[in-house]
Amino acid sequence: MSNHIKNPLSVFRSRVGFTLIEVMVATVIMGIIIVVIMQLFSGGLRSSEFSRDYTNAVIYAKNKMEEVFVNPVSGSGDFSDDVTGIGNNKFRWEVEISPYEVLPSNETSIEPVKSENEPNAKNTASAENKPDTENKPYLTKIKVKVYWTDNNKQRSVELATLMANIEEGAFK
């Protein structure tokens, strides 16, 4: 008889292959690697979705700002009637229009006005210290805010600009 039939352990040692434990460990390691790779892909998809929404919000805000230049009206609403005709109820907008006060360029500090109770205070209410409002443009501050909900979080983009209003006596 041959030698490996007499010793049954030598038959198992001479076989080439993997044990059950080695196969199970390799399967677990591969499973962990696949899960990590899938999470990386889904994180990239979430980032690209946020980037797309943010870019769309900036575009919507810029378009709404252009509309407000033509027809300056404060208010709020959604983009269900946008120019593409498709509409997008995910994004909402708010427009705030307010006058903007321009400070004189030579005004650097505010000093107290002379009162009867304080004889040593400087009198800054004289005609020479009054701000020059005659040659200043009448400015309007326009703020456009676009907001949307992303994963139950409120996100927003806000654009602001100043617009000279020549029709209302910008240069008196």
pLDDT digits (tens, 9 = 90+) for 59-89: 999 999 999 888 888 888 887 765 555 556 7
More confident residue, 6 or 101: 101
Identify the pLDDT of residue 125. 43
Average pLDDT of every residue of the chain: 76
Would the pLDDT of 101 be above 90?
A: no
Q: Around Cβ 55, how many Cβ atoms within 10 Å?
A: 11
Helix (H) or strand (E) holding 160: strand 153-164
Across-strand partners of 155? 148
Nearest to 68 by CA among 146, 126, 120: 146
Percent of the chain at pLDDT above 70?
A: 63
End-to-end CA distance of the chain: 121
Q: How confident is the model at residue 163 (pLDDT cuts 50, 70, 90)?
A: confident
* Backbone Cα Rg of the chain: 36
pLDDT digits (tens, 9 = 90+) for 106-123: 655 545 444 454 555 444
